[in-house]
Chain A
Amino acid sequence: MGEEALGISRVVIDAQKPREISIVDLAEALAEAPGVSKVDINVTEVDARTETLKIHIEGFEIDVEEVSSILEEHSTVIRSIDAVSAEKRIVEKGNG
């Protein structure tokens, strides 16, 4: 018998980072955040020093604070959070 849990299941973030930071490393770091099961990063703009990104994060009970912290650690600035999905799910007792 499971219990109901409410959490963030999708976040779309508009961000900007220095060109030296690899989006591969960034995606891997974000994928390790609690609650994250999938990360998509698209580079939407490039200039001499920076790249603008659209980051799609999917999972359940995504820790948005942790995501923000990981981005900050990678010198990536959040310009805006463009979309969020919150979801109610039945989760197995004792899972987590």
Chain B
Amino acid sequence: MTEEEDFLENIREIIDEFETYIEISGAGEILRRYFVMNAFDGALTMLGFTVGSYISGLRNPQIIVTGGLGASLAMGVSGFVGALLSEKAEREREIRELEKILFTRLKGKGSIVEKANMIAVVLAALTDATAPALAAIISAAPFIYALFYPIDFFVAFAASVALTLLVVFLLGVYLGKISEENPIKYGLAMVLAGILVSMITLLHV
């Protein structure tokens, strides 16, 4: 085997191992849920902030970018810590339950269940941290663009709202696909939720 083939083989083994850990820990389901929930949170938080700022008469893209990204950073950090602690607590409870059933110690032995749970906790925390930030950055992208290139503020605002609703629609389509239901229906339901958020913001401001 050449060095390149060796390297690819090693990567395949690592991916296989990861897949095994995800299967054992049941992390796939949790990660999907966290990703969609938190991306939705991030997108709609940014949408509410953008619409509220526009209605208030704000026309400075820098404020929207710094405010929005600041909020998404806060969401990311709180998501990471929250998911890390709650997933860790939940998984430790599961291991303790299994230990009682099997009449043996599983923790601290480097067993596959322990490793799988650790990977699940870290992945859940990372997903919880990055999903809202990613959605918020996509939503803020037109305003980030407006910082460097002269475009009309309303154009940036409209593009931001459109992008946010697109992100939300795509999240719905993804949910529809994994649940084997009508993805368009799911997508539209999520968009409706997004529009509702904007309207609630409009009423409040």
Contact = CB atoms under 8 A, between A and B. Distances in A.
Interface of A: 16, 18, 20-22, 25, 49-50, 72-75, 77
Nearest to B97: A49
B178 interface: no
Contacts of A73: 109-112
A21 B25 CA distance: 9
14 contacts: A16-B102, A18-B102, A18-B113, A21-B24, A21-B113, A22-B23, A50-B102, A73-B112, A74-B111, A74-B112, A75-B102, A75-B112, A75-B114, A77-B104
B78 interface: no
A22 B26 CA distance: 13
Contact of B25 (A20, A22, A72): A20
Contact of A77 (B23, B103, B116): B103
Interface string B8-38: 0000000000001001111000000000000
B26 A72 contact: no
Given A18-B98, A77-B104, A25 B20 contact: yes
Contacts of B101: 49-50
A50 B97 CA distance: 11
Contacts of A72: 109, 111
Given A49-B97, A49-B98, A21 B112 contact: yes
Contacts of B109: 72-73
B106 interface: yes
Contacts of B26: 20
A52 to B, nearest CB: 11
Interface in B101-150: 101-104, 106, 109-114, 116
Contacts of B112: 21, 73-75
Given A16-B102, A20-B25, A50-B102, A75 B97 contact: no
B179 to A, nearest CB: 23
A50 B113 CA distance: 13
Nearest to A15: B102
A8 B192 CA distance: 68
Nearest to B24: A20
Interface in B27-58: none
A75 to B, nearest CB: 4
A6 to B, nearest CB: 31
Contacts of B114: 75
Contacts of A16: 102
Nearest to B104: A77
